[in-house]
Structure 1
Amino acid sequence: MADMDPTGGLWNWAAAASLTADRVHGALAGALERNVGPLESGAPTLCDVYHVGGEFPTIIDVYLAPETIAESTAASAVAVRLEVEIILPDDTLDPAGYLLAGPDGSLTSVEVDEVETDEGVERRLRRERPAA
């Protein structure tokens, strides 16, 4: 979900560029102001980065994310640091509903098509969602 997650700790994003894990970890650490490392690192926040196809080929799974910052705020800050668009699930019940965090810090409601492949879920931007 895009706002405060009562379960605390799991964010799943996709970035519109092929990014290295080190670069993602650095941007996330800067945005959260805490150490971030790969799953086996034992860091306070863990982050798995892997690649699939589609318009958003870098998958960013964040574990043990802080409950004190909204997911959308963190994604926006990371998008600015990486200078890339990032999508994250929105807080609606629409499975195609996402937020698009822009490299300028903006947040836009969008719809995304997902296709399951052998390498993972590929995501493609469908369209901007009309304002409610």
Structure 2
Amino acid sequence: MDGMADPPAATGLWNWCLDGTLDPGRVRAAVAVAVRRPTIELAGPPVPGAVQCDVWHTEGEFPTVVDCYLAPSDVPESVAARAVAARLDSRCLLPDDSLDPSRHLLITPDGGIRPVHVDVADTDAGPRWTNVRPCTGIDVWCQGGRGGSRPAAAA
């Protein structure tokens, strides 16, 4: 042993999107501060303990997409996302743990976090997130309906 501690274990993948078209370097720097370790571009040379952070742009209300590979297991994803949202003064969407593809968590720059529904459409530029609306738990999106479409009225 050379006296150096092993890097913390990694949990895998985090996928977020941020409102505004943000500079990838600025986003990676915010992630690095939030997780307290270096970040590198996805195609960059490997750095022990670093988070691989791919930042790219698409269309919609949340056009900056952040994919973090080798995310640290000692930092909860929502804690990191809150820190990034605050540092960048940007709203952040991340998937929640439900199986509903339209349901996400919306994190605001002031640290607020709440469940929301959002329409996700595939485009040539990648996914597009639009039409963010609160999750009430009683709306059609939480009752098994398709996001944005209401069931037909009974005859």
So what's the TM-score if we normalise by structure 1?
0.90
Question: Is 1:8–2:11 an aligned residue pair?
Answer: yes
Q: What is the distance in 1 between the residues matched to 2:137 and 2:82?
A: 19
> Which residue among 22, 27, 35 is the counterpart of 2:25?
22
CA pair 72-131 structure 1, distance change in 2 beyond 3 A: farther
Q: Name which structure has the greater RCO, CA cutoff 8 Å, separation 6+.
A: 1
What does residue 74 of structure 2 align with? 68
Q: What is the distance in 2 between the residues matched to 1:125 and 1:108?
A: 15
Give how far 1:118 is off. Answer: 0.7
What does residue 120 of structure 2 align with? 114
> Which residue among 110, 124, 131 is the counterpart of 1:125?
131
Count of aligned pairs between the two proteins: 126
So what's the TM-score if we normalise by structure 2?
0.77
Question: Is 1:52–2:68 an aligned residue pair?
Answer: no
What does residue 103 of structure 2 align with? 97
> Which residue among 85, 91, 99 is the counterpart of 1:79?
85
Give how far 1:125 is off. Answer: 3.3
Rg: which structure is higher? Answer: 2
TM-align CA RMSD: 1.5
Q: Equivalent pairs: percent with the same residue?
A: 44
Q: What is the distance in 2 between the residues matched to 1:26 and 1:59?
A: 15
Q: Secondary structure at the match of 2:11?
A: coil
- For structure 1, the residue ranges without an aligned partner over 5 or more in a row are 1-6
Structure 1 segments (4+ residues) deviating >4 Å: none
Q: Secondary structure at the match of 1:104?
A: coil
- For structure 2, the residue ranges without an aligned partner over 5 or more in a row are 1-9, 139-155
Q: What is the distance in 2 between the residues matched to 1:61 and 1:72?
A: 14
Q: Secondary structure at the match of 1:95?
A: coil
